[in-house]
Amino acid sequence: MNENLLKKVKRIEIATKRMMDDIMTGGYKSHFKGQGVQFSEHRQYMPGDDIRHLDWKVSARSREPLVKLYEEERELNVFIIADLSASLDFGSLKNTKREALAELAAMIAYAASNTGDKVGVLLVTDRVEKIIELKKGRNHVLRIIRDLLTHPTRPGGTALRRALEETRRLMKHSGIVFVLSDFKAEGFEIPVRQLSRKHDVVAIRIEDDAEIRINATGRFPVLDPETGRMFDLDTRSKIVNESLRLSNEAFDLKTKTLFKQAGVETLPIQTREDHAERLLQFLKRRKQKR
């Protein structure tokens, strides 16, 4: 690794350690629904048992009420879908969306590794670029971080549908799937619903405020990174700004509705924010809800 890359990795390690010291160690699995346990056996229902654990089908066959017993799994499978398409190269301040995504994905990978869980990654642009299989260990995480920070961006759209379908194929056992993207993609509604039926899916939406609120400074040529098309943007035009505002509001509503209907929890992240703190607070809120 070159010196600049090593500095970034060190910064990510420090941020992740802060998270782990706060709430992750020993309680990491409790942040995710239905994970960390697996079915063990049945026993007869006893007064005081949680009726939610009744196995109605087996009880009907055996003609006596039976509850499911569970035991903790030794490890979780944590999978990260990382969108490295051209639209993630945008950034109005210190960090681009791509850099914010890489830092967040690396923190998740470190957190999973530090609790002994396997972690894997799928890198996607306008195609599935690379799949890093589920493994554990610090060297494995360092490889993930290196690829997240150095893999080249490819111009064109985002093959998010293909990425979700491929993840569903790869994840044989239930686990946690983090999808990190700006979700500027089409046709992924059905695959995300299918994936969330078996896995705990968390959508981390990477945003930059300048994409939503444009200062009225003049007319500029603008390149659409997803299509490669050039067009003039007059930021002084009230019509243009109103059109952009309505378009962003429609996209925001569509995305929120999609994830809500799919049972997917979302975490919006701005490039200017403290990424570690935002992720930490998100995990705390999830734990309080459960």
* Average pLDDT score over residue span 196-203: 93
The answer to the question of residue 88 being in a domain is yes
Instruction: Give the integer Cα–Cα distance in Å for 42 and 26.
Output: 27
Most confident of 193-197, 210-214, 224-228: 193-197
Higher pLDDT, 235 or 24: 235
Residues 57, 186, single domain; the answer is: no
CATH number for the domain that contains residue 120: 3.40.50.410
Residues 247, 135, single domain; the answer is: yes
Residues 47, 181, single domain; the answer is: no
* Average pLDDT score over residue span 270-277: 84
Instruction: Give the integer Cα–Cα distance in Å for 259 and 41.
Output: 34
* Average pLDDT score over residue span 188-211: 91
**What pLDDT, in 10s, does the model give residues 6-21?**
777 777 777 777 766 6
pLDDT band at 284 (very low <50, low <70, confident <90, very high): confident
Instruction: Give the integer Cα–Cα distance in Å for 18 and 282.
Output: 15
Residues 159, 228, single domain; the answer is: yes
**What pLDDT, in 10s, does the model give residues 25-36?**
444 555 554 444
Computed over its alpha carbons, how large is the radius of gyration of the chain? Answer: 21
Most confident of 45-59, 89-103, 140-154, 205-219: 140-154
**What pLDDT, in 10s, does the model give residues 145-173?**
889 888 888 777 899 999 999 999 999 88
* Average pLDDT score over residue span 244-248: 76
pLDDT band at 84 (very low <50, low <70, confident <90, very high): very high
Residues 150, 117, single domain; the answer is: yes
Contacts 24+ apart (CB under 8 A), 93-97: 93/271, 93/272, 94/271, 94/272, 95/271, 95/272, 96/208, 96/271, 97/182, 97/206, 97/207, 97/208, 97/271
Residues 57, 167, single domain; the answer is: no
Q: Crossing angle, helix 138-150 and helix 97-114, to 10 degrees?
A: 170
What pLDDT is recorded for position 39? Answer: 56
Residues 116, 174, single domain; the answer is: yes
* Average pLDDT score over residue span 127-137: 94
Residues 42, 178, single domain; the answer is: no
The answer to the question of residue 64 being in a domain is yes
pLDDT band at 79 (very low <50, low <70, confident <90, very high): very high
Domain span holding position 60: 37-72
The pair phi, psi for residue 82, each rounded to 5°, is -115, 115
Instruction: Give the integer Cα–Cα distance in Å for 119 and 137.
Output: 9
